[in-house]
Structure 1
Amino acid sequence: MNSYHIGGIRRMKLAGKNVLITGGAQGIGQGIAFRFAREGAALFLLDVKSKELEATARTIREETGMRVETEVCDLSDVGRAAEAAGQAWTTMGGIDILINNAGIAVREPFASIPLTTWNKIMDVNVNAMFALSQSVATRMLEQRRGGSIVNMASKNGLAGSSMLAHYNASKGAVVLLTQSMAVELAPHGIRVNAVAPGFIDTPLDRKLKQQDRSLDLTARTPMGRTGTVEEVASAFLFLASDEASYITGTTLVVDGGHLANAGEL
């Protein structure tokens, strides 16, 4: 998706928008941040990795000239996540778009999952998303301003798989949370959608493959390759922008046809 032209003038899709992005230091979150800044958005990035976060912010500022604010935040601390959302709102003078991108995953057998790991994955992938969304949406409602929230789901939230019971459950929760938020917030001009990537070339996916060398991530993917960060960022841009003005409560799958091939032997 590229910016479009009217009368020969390039019009940026997110000009004048303030965007809060979680997990913005690397991977898909970083890709979304770069893409949104190139489309005219001012950014507030949250991440637990301070060095990577500042490096990303500095590069975006240098390449795009856009405003980029940052805050180091561990989203497993759900109370801190809600505080960070409020800080972002105050710092930016309001948030127009919230991108709940941050997430974690660990590959391990269901019977061996420690409760501590289950709880941490739920805190980062679901509970922090809830807290951030509630914080931002409440302020949007109070100021009677519309907005867009786009959540990071996964193909794993739409179909089961082994070794990822906690991650899969968390992403299934994201899909239903997205739909429920969309229904309640639509009358107030707030759209809520999700993106469900398949196997994308990111640090997280590479880490999962290192944990299990037998993984062939694209064996059943009809397009025969992993996706790119840029391809997922394009989906987030579409759903966040006015081009998706009549779309809410949907989960856009970006997986190279993997789920469509579920019946293949």
Structure 2
Amino acid sequence: METANKTKTMLVTGGSRGIGAEIARLAVRSGYRVVINYANSAEAAHALVDELNITRIVTHAIRCDISEEASVVDMFAETNAVFGPVDVLVNNAGVTGGFAKVCDVTAQTLSDVMSTNVIGAFLCSREAVCQMSKRTGGAGGAIVNVSSRASQYGGAGEWVHYAASKGAMDTLTLGLAREVASEGIRVNAVAPGFVDTDLHANAGDADRATRLAAQTPMGRPGTSLEIANTVLWLADDAASYVTGAIVAAAGGR
């Protein structure tokens, strides 16, 4: 989908690859200025910036570990300096922690997953609200969280730890939506099912999405573009009366 928006700024965490990169591409085509956050994938992030800045400067990459509070504060300050206040935050950055049953999961894995997927989303949402809130002079805005259908199915036998982190993100979505609705901020989430990205390969099972998606009603995995389209709709004024929603983009699963 494309919108007439020509002025708003979107910050996409974990925006250098996969779903995040597709969100950035679609956002630029839809008229946004986009800040692409990355933690480790500097080469991919800057390649994406070069790809999208061919005719004019519409993207900017910022390295930030979103689990680190000071770094998040600095990222939002840099975004404001480059493009102005954030109008749309997409909390897309996430890690799975790999495959493990609960009896085998380590404290370090739990810390890593929760630090990025939960604490990072909270910190970024906090800074976004501070810039967006009409109560403090902002123009309002939208936050879109990239959750997972795993939050509803539990991830048994594979990654209950990851599913639990996405369950926390769903709760953040519902609670924050109610907290800031009167301040001109909408908060929603997209819950992808099996999507053909490198997330599965990074967790150790490259064919997982295709294999398991064959069992879904639509019989195939989703694409990054299909998730990006859902994110852009929730970010857009076309969804102006939608807040506190968790939209399943999962082929019927």
User: Which category describes the TM-score, using the shorter chain as reference length?
Assistant: over 0.9
| Aligned twin of 1:7 | none
**Partner of residue 195 from structure 2, selected from 194, 200, 203:** 200
Q: Say whether the 8 Å CA contact 2:12–2:20 is kept in structure 1.
A: yes
| Aligned twin of 2:120 | 128
| Aligned twin of 1:187 | 182
Structure 2 unmatched ranges of 5 or more: none
Judging changes above 3 Å, is the alpha-carbon distance between structure 1 residues 174 and 85 closer, same or farther for their aligned structure 2 residues?
A: same
| Aligned twin of 1:77 | 68
In 1, Cα distance between equivalents of 2:22 and 2:69? 24
Q: How does 1:206-217 map to 2 (within 5 A)?
A: 206-208=201-203, 210=205, 216-217=211-212
Please state if 1:230 is matched with 2:225: yes
| Aligned twin of 1:41 | 32
Pairwise CA RMSD: 1.9
| Aligned twin of 1:67 | 58
Aligned with 2:243: secondary structure?
coil
In 2, Cα distance between equivalents of 1:227 and 1:216? 12
Q: Say whether the 8 Å CA contact 1:150–1:239 is kept in structure 2.
A: yes
| Aligned twin of 1:115 | 107
In 2, Cα distance between equivalents of 1:200 and 1:212? 11
In 1, Cα distance between equivalents of 2:209 and 2:46? 35
Aligned with 1:110: secondary structure?
coil
> Which amino acid is the alignment partner of residue 223 of structure 2?
T
| Aligned twin of 2:144 | 150
In 2, Cα distance between equivalents of 1:13 and 1:191? 19
**Partner of residue 251 from structure 2, selected from 244, 250, 256:** 256
Judging changes above 3 Å, is the alpha-carbon distance between structure 1 residues 213 and 135 closer, same or farther for their aligned structure 2 residues?
A: closer
TM-score by length of 1: 0.88
Q: Which moved more, 1:205-214 or 1:41-50?
A: 205-214
**Partner of residue 154 from structure 2, selected from 133, 154, 160:** 160
Aligned with 2:221: secondary structure?
coil
Q: Give identity over the alignment, percent.
A: 36
| Aligned twin of 2:172 | 177
Please state if 1:97 is matched with 2:88: yes
In 1, Cα distance between equivalents of 2:81 and 2:56? 21
Q: Which moved more, 1:225-234 or 1:152-161?
A: 152-161
Structure 1 unmatched ranges of 5 or more: 4-11, 259-265
Displacement of 1:77 after TM fit? 2.7
For the pair shown, the structure with the greater C-alpha radius of gyration is: 1
In 2, Cα distance between equivalents of 1:94 and 1:47? 19
Judging changes above 3 Å, is the alpha-carbon distance between structure 1 residues 122 and 150 closer, same or farther for their aligned structure 2 residues?
A: same
TM-score by length of 2: 0.92
**Partner of residue 242 from structure 1, selected from 237, 244, 253:** 237
Displacement of 1:213 after TM fit? 7.1
| Aligned twin of 1:261 | none
| Aligned twin of 2:16 | 25
Q: Say whether the 8 Å CA contact 1:25–1:47 is kept in structure 2.
A: yes
Judging changes above 3 Å, is the alpha-carbon distance between structure 1 residues 256 and 66 closer, same or farther for their aligned structure 2 residues?
A: farther
